[in-house]
């Protein structure tokens, strides 16, 4: 993180310093160029106004030459360079060179412009790489052209001269960036480090409010992980305990038969007990597998429109024999109610509720399965006239392995996982479960879709 921030800041600084330098150089050079051109134009005009060249030309009389005079001699010591050219391009006078060696100047852009428009200017790169020559030409009344020129730094040389300054500023900024980057990352990471060291403690208000959602999420996830770990531990302990009881019984009975201590009718009874406990183990393992299947959210569900009433009737039909065995009246009433659900899961939910109503009922009791619409939403309820559930246990009966009366439940072969499965299935269908129960009078469990 530190390295990334440092790199980012350095890059931004380098870009900023470089672009600012280029921008300033361009603006400065443009102003400088204008100044040079203006000065040169003023100087040329002033020189023309002195009339030195006109008089020298007039004095010669042949139109292609001139008479030397003291003023022209004076100008030879002058800078900028002055060139006087006749209308045919021949150089008449140059204060910096011998005119005999100079070529015809008619092809020079500033001379052509002066002949055509009265004045002309141009900039040419000098032989020396970092200098430009500025030219300014003026058409005099007698048809000759007066040209002045001066050398000034080119933009490249201005930029090259600025390079050490740029490098110096960049170096200073680089150091500032590294220091700033370190300071920033330390400040940014401090609250995170404090939080990481104290995930279980109370959240103190963070220096950066923008980090609050992140902190809340991490905290929630941490609590979730702890809760899941504790649930898993409880579950493993419960499973081990539930497996141990029937296995101990099976092993005990088998040992008695093996040693020959039991004989005749006792062997039959022990075999019955072994089968009963083995069935219990099987049903326990099936329920655990079922719960773990329901936990897997990626398992595809076959959701479609299902009539709760006809499904409830089918479940009642399936469990009518079990109800009859206990002399219970199992009936189904209500109207059709369509829900979007996974049929197999919904059937499992209804059958689990009816099985409980059978298991925890009294002799000659009743069970009524109702379906219909409540508050504009489909519902299903299973009401029994059984033993009822104490108020303090009503919340907990949906927990895994929770049984109100362990010995009674074990007698009837209950594992305490049925309602956990029911709750899971309801959650998958976004349905709500409510319990209404009176001890000794009966229980009504409603699933509202
Ligand atoms: N209709 C009911 N009347 C009274 N008590 C009930 C009723 N339904 C559930 N209970 C109580 O809630 C507990 C949890 O029920 P759950 O169905 O989860 O487990 P179980 O019936 O003991 O075992 P199984 O896994 O075989 O269903 C039961 O042990 C019982 O004490
Ligand atoms: Mg049950």
Closest CA relative to residue 303, chosen from 353, 336, 338: 338
pLDDT tens-digit readout, 279-294 = 989 988 998 988 888 8
- Residue 62 clears pLDDT 60, i.e. is over it: no
From 288, 408, 414, 442, mutation site for ligand 1 pocket: most ligand atoms within 8 A of C-beta = 414
Q: For residue 221, is the peptide bond before it cis, meaning its omega torsion is within 30 degrees of 0?
A: no
- Cβ(345)–Cβ(429) below 8 Å: yes
Judge if the beta carbon of residue 152 lies within 6 A of ligand 1.
no
From 328, 392, 419, 435, mutation site for ligand 1 pocket: most ligand atoms within 8 A of C-beta = 419
The sign one gets for the Cα dihedral 136, 139, 142, 144 is positive
pLDDT tens-digit readout, 114-132 = 999 999 999 988 765 578 8
Q: How many CA atoms lie within 13 A of 283 on its CB side?
A: 17
User: For position 235, what pLDDT does the model report?
Assistant: 86
Cβ-proximal residues to 52 (8 Å cutoff; 6+ apart), any chain: 69, 71, 72, 75
Closest CA relative to residue 205, chosen from 218, 217, 219, 191: 191
User: For position 42, what pLDDT does the model report?
Assistant: 93
User: For position 212, what pLDDT does the model report?
Assistant: 78
* Three-state DSSP class for residue 56: helix
Q: What are phi and psi of 151, to 5 degrees?
A: -100, 140
Query: Whole-prediction pTM value?
Result: 0.60
* Three-state DSSP class for residue 164: helix
CA 415 – ligand 2 centroid, Å: 7
388 CA: nearest ligand 1 atom: 4
Residues 225, 336: Cα–Cα separation, whole Å: 42
Q: What are phi and psi of 51, to 5 degrees?
A: 75, 10
Structural domains in the chain, sorted by start: 2-158 (3.30.450.20), 214-295 (1.10.287.130), 304-448 (3.30.565.10)
Residues 87, 66: Cα–Cα separation, whole Å: 13
């Amino acid at each position: 993180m530190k390295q990334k921030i440092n790199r980012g800041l350095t890059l931004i600084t380098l870009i900023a310093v470089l672009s600012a330098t280029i921008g300033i150089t361009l603006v400065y050079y443009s102003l400088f160029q204008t100044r040079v051109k203006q000065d040169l134009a003023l100087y040329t005009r002033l020189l023309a106004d002195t009339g030195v060249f006109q008089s020298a030309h007039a004095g010669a009389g042949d139109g292609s030459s001139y008479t030397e005079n003291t003023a022209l001699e004076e100008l030879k010591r002058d800078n900028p360079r002055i060139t006087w050219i006749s209308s045919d391009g021949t150089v008449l006078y140059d204060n910096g060179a011998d005119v005999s060696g100079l070529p015809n100047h008619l092809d020079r852009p500033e001379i052509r412009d002066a002949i055509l428009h009265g004045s002309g200017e141009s900039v040419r790169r000098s032989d020396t790489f970092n200098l430009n020559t500025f030219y300014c030409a003026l058409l005099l009344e007698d048809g000759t052209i007066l040209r002045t020129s001066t050398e000034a730094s080119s933009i490249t040389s201005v930029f090259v001269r600025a390079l050490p300054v740029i490098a110096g500023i960049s170096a200073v900024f680089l150091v500032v960036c590294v220091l700033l980057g370190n300071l920033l990352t330390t400040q940014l990471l401090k609250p995170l480090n404090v939080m990481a060291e104290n995930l279980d403690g109370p959240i103190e208000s963070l220096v950066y409010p923008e980090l609050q959602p992140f902190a809340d999420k991490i905290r929630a996830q941490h609590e979730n992980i702890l809760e899941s770990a504790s649930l898993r531990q409880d579950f493993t302990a419960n499973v081990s305990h539930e497996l141990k009881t029937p296995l101990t019984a099976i092993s005990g009975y088998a040992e008695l038969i093996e040693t020959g201590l039991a004989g005749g009718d006792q062997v039959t009874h022990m075999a019955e007990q072994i089968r009963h406990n083995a069935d219990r183990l099987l049903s326990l393992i099936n329920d655990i597998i079922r719960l773990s299947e329901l936990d897997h959210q990626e398992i595809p569900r076959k959701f479609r429109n299902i009539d709760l009433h006809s499904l409830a009737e089918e479940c009642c039909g399936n469990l009518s024999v079990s109800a009859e065995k206990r002399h219970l009246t199992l009936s189904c009433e209500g109207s059709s109610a369509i829900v979007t659900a996974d049929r197999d899961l919904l059937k499992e939910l209804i059958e689990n509720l009816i099985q409980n109503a059978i298991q925890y009922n009294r002799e000659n009791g009743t069970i009524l399965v109702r379906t219909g619409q409540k508050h504009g939403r489909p519902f299903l309820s299973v009401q029994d006239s059984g033993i009822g559930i104490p108020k303090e246990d009503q919340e907990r009966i949906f927990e895994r392995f929770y049984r109100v009366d362990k010995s009674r439940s074990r007698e009837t072969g209950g594992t305490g996982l049925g309602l956990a499965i029911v709750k899971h299935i309801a959650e998958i269908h976004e349905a709500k479960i409510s319990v209404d129960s009176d001890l000794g009078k009966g229980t009504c469990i409603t699933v509202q879709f």
